[in-house]
Structure 1
């Protein structure tokens, strides 16, 4: 118990799993001697026999014998935990063995990944294992057709990117024919990179939109704010999460627009959006421009966030800032957060390299416990203390010198930067020193596998924005087929891969994931982080705790400096946790309302509940239509009418609640609790929604011709729909933004008076 406490493990005791695996080792010769591999019976799932059979299945089909620790991880997953397994410890195989165990119990399993590439790779890689056990497997990607998706969902085990699964769930919510449904009832979710999906991206809403509107007229505001100067016309708060006009800025905007600004709330919103896009969102840090479009960058993985966008107004403002044509916008028909998507599953488990740091959130939001799986071989990586500098220039110069020194010795170096712009600046500095780094960032992530395969070669220099969720190990010596064992041994003698971080991340987990690229499976390796007092982490989250004075060489050696860096990171993690909690508090009631409404919708879709409701509401009209058109036609029309108005009213309810939430924090000025006020608005609004569905359905049924196409009689659905993700809270919580905006407005009014 003391050892586990000192190791800061999760709360799951592994003793019983380890005993089961030890017993499986004794059964291994017997199972190996069987000519045919018979899958274990359902009652044996999780037993020693199960472990022995699954180990032999992996040997026969994949040529891989699972380590004891991989089987321990498998058992932890089968018992509904999150397994923390270090980089290179074989999470993919452990997950497949667990998925097979659930499937052999008759449970439908969705293995949820962070991207299409990993979903396809893992499904195809593990397919022989599943087939040997009599199971079927499929995968879903962004380019999958409806037929391919239906086939994949019919398999025992389905691999899918979390976004694609969510979009299919949303599309199913608008189906009007049961035969068109794709996604089966949720049973088991096995989540890869669980901390990223369940925590980092939990509050990201997935959106289904339709009935496109023309893009907003943002170019005028973008032109206006380009003329404004920071410190004179506008100010940015200390944490860089909000921007607001000064009194002089307000006067300038009012003269340019010819209005009294705060008498026009809509114009205030447009100006603020343009100002936020201009002052707070930075090209090649928060987004890139490629092929004439704005692409957001996933802050935790350094990749382009596929299909992701900001809320429409801010998206349009950024596009106007970059002088691009506005992208399509439209009415939100339905949405679901990733957390809401995953809590639909009766059973959730997952695996990742860094779960302990978010153990509190996993327990709070999903009732999940963390099982820390020890490595197969002890980690011998040398993690050096941070090297802290007074200025960013001193830090970058030191990074370049360190890379040059390690390269001169022949040691492969992986440099992890915080954003695209930094990776490109560092690339230029290294090339100026005569070095030839390879850059992996959001602009060339299609070349990711090839770049990572070469990152462990002798003398290689790789500069990357984030390594979380890359899904590929760095082999010492480079790709096996290229360099072989001699090259691997040569790099081992040099000390293995050396990881350099150019700054601490907002989350210690991202630091650990970067470190974890070195020292896999007992390999030698090293890591060090370079930090400066001008880094965004310190200026945003520890502005009142300056670093101690630096020595003449620019290095801060006072032990207080390390405490300050750790303090800033802890504050950042606390802020992000509070945003997660706050978002879930507001979405939880809507999720319950959505679930109740979906139950009602399913009764209508799969039965005659819609027709019976209309028969009760309009008995004479129902009898008349049944006599003239027949029972089947009336039931079919009744189903379509009620479904149309249910979906229409839900979209309106979402729009109304979005408006309520946007302004709810203003009520705090009257000493009211914003969350209580939101719930007080949401409950009667939902009751009104139910009444409105009945009223509109009755009104339509009284006048519609059930023998004709209903779409031409006012029941036309969107001709096209599209899906995307919204990055909420790009500048912090609504509380911070609204109060800063209100304070600035009041301050500006007082100055003018």
Structure 2
């Protein structure tokens, strides 16, 4: 009894906020007893046994034991990987709808595949949702032999997948895809005008890989789909004036680099340059908006950090993944302003068609589970937003990696010199080194410094992420220096000795101490720090890690810019006072808290929007799947309907009625989203009157929503009456029914409590306080 209580207390201390898997641990001996028997059976026997497990409900205990034993043998036979007991625990954790935490290198990919097979054999359609497209395709192809032998069909989606290929992929028992890609397909399906154009079936099970990255980091930014309207325009006068403005004199920025505003001196300079206008008068509001977006592009968005210029285009960098964000751009004015800054022609202007948050996307699935290396740190967030509990899976082999204390410096330049010196010393030993940087610019600056120091390194960042697998595969080879941006979600293990699996090279790397990981700064989340560290010491290998930081790093400036007094640096600029480490940790906790508040606020505002969208979708589906549009127009425009019915086949006319009503419904929803965006921008002004912003938002949003269906019906009747028949059929475009020729997603900074309006209010309040003094 005492031993059991002691074990439970130790679990609570070591794995806070996690659930027990004791009942599954008890099944491991029974699974092991099936191993010898299954090993002697043929592939056909194993496939037959899997078919016999197919059911329309959950596995019984006996079926669960048989499935895990089958999965172990199938993975050994097809991949040469015998699943460890802890991996089978992970499979059972996913089948019981938990987020399982497994250390890097413990075989999460196989665990996810076996769990997906288990859900599929229980008669459910499964989506394995990853953090990027590369992992989705890689994992589906890598695990295909396991799926094939168990009789489970598998597919994947990525940006290059055609419409027909998407339908086929989603028709499989298991479909792999990035969260953005699946979300984008949901948004596209919401806009189809023919039922057979939809690619997604009813969602059933989601298994989320890198669950903390997808469910927490990605969830702060909604997926927003836009459609092309016409070519973007730029205020060329403003585009020429803003680059001449100077920080501190003409404009200011906040500590976290998310807002910029003109000073009185800056406003005066701009007004004079624009011919003596008053920016803050109603007549100058459009020019002020143009100045604001140009200033944002000039002051807050940095080339090679926030975006690349490649092939004559501005390509956004997804900072949480360290990759180029395909088919993604900023909202129009900002996108055009960045293109003007880089002297590129403006891309098409867009109109927001629809949006969905990660929470709403995941909420579509009745069954959700996930896996990651760092879940305990966000256990409360997963519980609050997704009602998911964390199950910690112990490593198969104890972790012997040595994590050194952070080294903290007074300035970034002193820190960089120390990083180069450290890399040089470790490299002289022949030990493989992985350096994690914050962005593209930093990775390239460090590579340049290393080259000047006579060291050769390989760089992995958004410029060359296509070669990711090859670069990471060689990162564990003795003597190799790999410099990479964001390692979280890259999903590829670094094997000691390199890709060739040369035993001598592996032994050499082990004897040198294994992979040595260096972080050039602490990340905005301790989880990202841990994911970088976790690249070393996989499956009991030796390894080491150290993080460098400076008191002028972006994290410190954003989280806690007021440095404690009395911190003294040595001749090299290093600060060894424990207060510096406490200050750094405090700054990181502040930023983590701010990001969680962004997440919470996004959800508060979008929850109502999602409910409204679901109500409208129910009506839209009725229009899409029935003849309700024809019935409406027969009742409201009988004469015109009869005229067209004489000249057109019944189904053709029914589809024309459908398309007209769907066009107006979709247009009204887009207008509603634009209205809500305007409300959000001004909601803080209402807060001055001591109204609660969220209540004011609801008060404005609900009556407007209730107008949509009736107004869409009126517009449908009017458009139908104006529709002309030509030799080519019905001229819908001539009647104004024009759908976008292309779509893309927007990257938005969606924090309702940190808008430009709120920042302006802070400035006003600050000015008033100064005047009172």
Match of 2:151 among 131, 134, 140: 134
Please name the residue that 2:365 is paired with: 345
1:651 matched to 2:658? The reply is: no
1:3 matched to 2:10? The reply is: yes
Change (3 A) 1:33 1:721: same
Please name the residue that 1:237 is paired with: 254
Match of 2:280 among 254, 262, 266: 262
Listed one character per residue, the Cα deviations across residues 137-156 of structure 1 (whole Å, up to 9, x for unaligned) are: 11111111111111111111
Distance across 1 between alignment mates of 2:652 and 2:464: 55
Please name the residue that 1:27 is paired with: 34
Distance across 2 between alignment mates of 1:402 and 1:628: 81
1:316 matched to 2:336? The reply is: yes
Instruction: Note the aligned Cα RMSD (angstroms).
Output: 2.4
Distance across 2 between alignment mates of 1:280 and 1:293: 19
Worse overlay, 440-449 or 515-524: 440-449
Please name the residue that 2:695 is paired with: 676
1:717 matched to 2:738? The reply is: yes
Q: Any idea what SS the aligned residue of 1:226 has?
A: helix
Please name the residue that 2:81 is paired with: 64
Cα pair 2:54 2:123 within 8 Å, conserved:
no
1:85 matched to 2:102? The reply is: yes
The alpha-carbon deviation at position 356 of structure 1 amounts to 1.3
Distance across 2 between alignment mates of 1:310 and 1:373: 40
Match of 2:556 among 531, 538, 542: 538
1:513 matched to 2:531? The reply is: yes
Please name the residue that 2:513 is paired with: 495
Match of 1:586 among 582, 587, 605: 605
Worse overlay, 403-412 or 742-751: 742-751
Output aligned runs, 1:145-294, within 5 Å.
145-258=162-275, 259-263=277-281, 264-294=284-314
Worse overlay, 566-575 or 288-297: 288-297
Please name the residue that 1:479 is paired with: 499
Change (3 A) 1:595 1:410: same
1:694 matched to 2:713? The reply is: yes
Distance across 1 between alignment mates of 2:732 and 2:647: 21
The alpha-carbon deviation at position 183 of structure 1 amounts to 1.1
Distance across 1 between alignment mates of 2:236 and 2:364: 42
The alpha-carbon deviation at position 620 of structure 1 amounts to 7.3
Match of 2:430 among 373, 389, 410: 410
Cα pair 1:411 1:459 within 8 Å, conserved:
yes
Please name the residue that 1:726 is paired with: 747
Worse overlay, 524-533 or 118-127: 118-127
Please name the residue that 1:99 is paired with: 116
Please name the residue that 2:583 is paired with: 564
Cα pair 1:45 1:105 within 8 Å, conserved:
no
**Any gaps of 5 or more consecutive residues in structure 1?**
none
Please name the residue that 2:486 is paired with: 466
Distance across 1 between alignment mates of 2:633 and 2:735: 18
Please name the residue that 2:3 is paired with: none
Cα pair 1:308 1:727 within 8 Å, conserved:
no
Q: Any idea what SS the aligned residue of 1:546 has?
A: coil
- What TM-score, normalized to structure 1? 0.95
Distance across 2 between alignment mates of 1:658 and 1:736: 11
Worse overlay, 514-523 or 414-423: 414-423
The alpha-carbon deviation at position 86 of structure 1 amounts to 1.0
Listed one character per residue, the Cα deviations across residues 693-721 of structure 1 (whole Å, up to 9, x for unaligned) are: 12222333455468951515515332512
Distance across 1 between alignment mates of 2:68 and 2:585: 42
Distance across 2 between alignment mates of 1:750 and 1:552: 42
The alpha-carbon deviation at position 608 of structure 1 amounts to 2.1
- What TM-score, normalized to structure 2? 0.92
The alpha-carbon deviation at position 116 of structure 1 amounts to 2.1
Cα pair 1:241 1:737 within 8 Å, conserved:
no
1:400 matched to 2:430? The reply is: no
The alpha-carbon deviation at position 41 of structure 1 amounts to 4.0
Number of paired residues? Answer: 748
1:738 matched to 2:745? The reply is: no
1:120 matched to 2:127? The reply is: no
Change (3 A) 1:741 1:322: farther
Match of 2:594 among 564, 568, 575: 575
Distance across 1 between alignment mates of 2:764 and 2:289: 12
Cα pair 2:497 2:503 within 8 Å, conserved:
yes
Distance across 2 between alignment mates of 1:751 and 1:326: 43
Listed one character per residue, the Cα deviations across residues 101-127 of structure 1 (whole Å, up to 9, x for unaligned) are: 111111111111222221111111111
Distance across 2 between alignment mates of 1:530 and 1:100: 43
Output aligned runs, 1:627-646, within 5 Å.
632=651, 635-646=654-665
Listed one character per residue, the Cα deviations across residues 14-62 of structure 1 (whole Å, up to 9, x for unaligned) are: 1112112232112222333333111124354662122111111212222
Please name the residue that 1:595 is paired with: 614
Change (3 A) 1:389 1:580: same
Cα pair 2:237 2:274 within 8 Å, conserved:
no
Distance across 1 between alignment mates of 2:671 and 2:182: 24
Cα pair 2:229 2:740 within 8 Å, conserved:
no
Cα pair 1:245 1:744 within 8 Å, conserved:
no
Cα pair 1:637 1:706 within 8 Å, conserved:
no
1:456 matched to 2:463? The reply is: no
The alpha-carbon deviation at position 437 of structure 1 amounts to 1.6
Distance across 1 between alignment mates of 2:686 and 2:456: 57
Change (3 A) 1:744 1:57: same
Worse overlay, 568-577 or 78-87: 78-87
1:529 matched to 2:536? The reply is: no
Cα pair 1:499 1:528 within 8 Å, conserved:
yes
1:12 matched to 2:12? The reply is: no
Q: Any idea what SS the aligned residue of 2:305 has?
A: coil
Distance across 2 between alignment mates of 1:66 and 1:10: 27
Worse overlay, 341-350 or 579-588: 341-350
Cα pair 2:522 2:529 within 8 Å, conserved:
yes
Worse overlay, 738-747 or 537-546: 738-747
Distance across 1 between alignment mates of 2:762 and 2:272: 22
**Any gaps of 5 or more consecutive residues in structure 2?**
1-7
Cα pair 1:468 1:514 within 8 Å, conserved:
yes
Cα pair 1:211 1:330 within 8 Å, conserved:
yes
The alpha-carbon deviation at position 99 of structure 1 amounts to 0.5
The alpha-carbon deviation at position 581 of structure 1 amounts to 0.8
The alpha-carbon deviation at position 618 of structure 1 amounts to 5.4
1:305 matched to 2:322? The reply is: no
Output aligned runs, 1:346-425, within 5 Å.
346-425=366-445
The alpha-carbon deviation at position 393 of structure 1 amounts to 2.2
Q: Any idea what SS the aligned residue of 2:732 has?
A: helix
Please name the residue that 1:440 is paired with: 460
Q: Any idea what SS the aligned residue of 1:224 has?
A: helix
Change (3 A) 1:278 1:641: closer
Q: Any idea what SS the aligned residue of 2:19 has?
A: coil
